[in-house]
Amino acid sequence: MMYDQSRAQQPPDKQPGSAGRRAPGPEPLLAADERADITQRLHHALNTFAHSPLEALEEAETAFDEAAAQIMSALTERRHDLHAGWHGQDPKTQGEELRHALRQYSEITQRLLRM
């Protein structure tokens, strides 16, 4: 196999033929900007600990609380969407949709258990 320099120089999300495809694996519970904001606040707390430990701990606690609240909100929304997608479906005619819902419940539950 020959080395393809132009392909090797492409960022991972810009590989040829990957337009419109989502990266493999589950989608994140929080949007990228929400994760970035919480991460930035947590890093700030870590970086200021030496000069003001109590303020750093309060900031870290606030970042944790915000992350937990946003994750709970996202999980509640995901559960509502999943339930609405299968509830009332006829197992005889909608078997594939029900199987898909079961896979989604299994995936999100396994992710929670790995935390």
Q: What is the pLDDT of residues 66-79, one digit of tens each?
A: 999 999 999 999 99
Q: What is the DSSP letter of 84?
A: H
Query: Is 61 in contact with 44 (CB distance < 8 Å)?
Result: no
Per-residue pLDDT of the chain (115 residues; tens, 9 = 90+): 454 555 555 555 444 444 455 556 678 889 999 999 999 999 999 999 999 999 999 999 999 999 999 999 999 999 999 999 888 888 887 888 899 999 999 999 998 999 8
- pLDDT number for residue 96: 87
Burial of 45 (0-12, 13-18, 19+ CB in 10 A): buried
Residue with tokens 């005889």: 92
Query: Is 46 in contact with 53 (CB distance < 8 Å)?
Result: no
Q: Which long-range contacts (CB under 8 A, 24 or more apart) does 20-27 make?
A: 26/107, 26/108, 26/111
How far apart, in whole angstroms, are the C-alpha atoms of residue 77 and residue 83? 10
- pLDDT number for residue 89: 82
- pLDDT number for residue 1: 46
- pLDDT number for residue 15: 46
- pLDDT number for residue 81: 92
**Domain residue extents for the chain:** 31-85
Beta-carbon neighbour count of residue 79 at 10 Å? 12
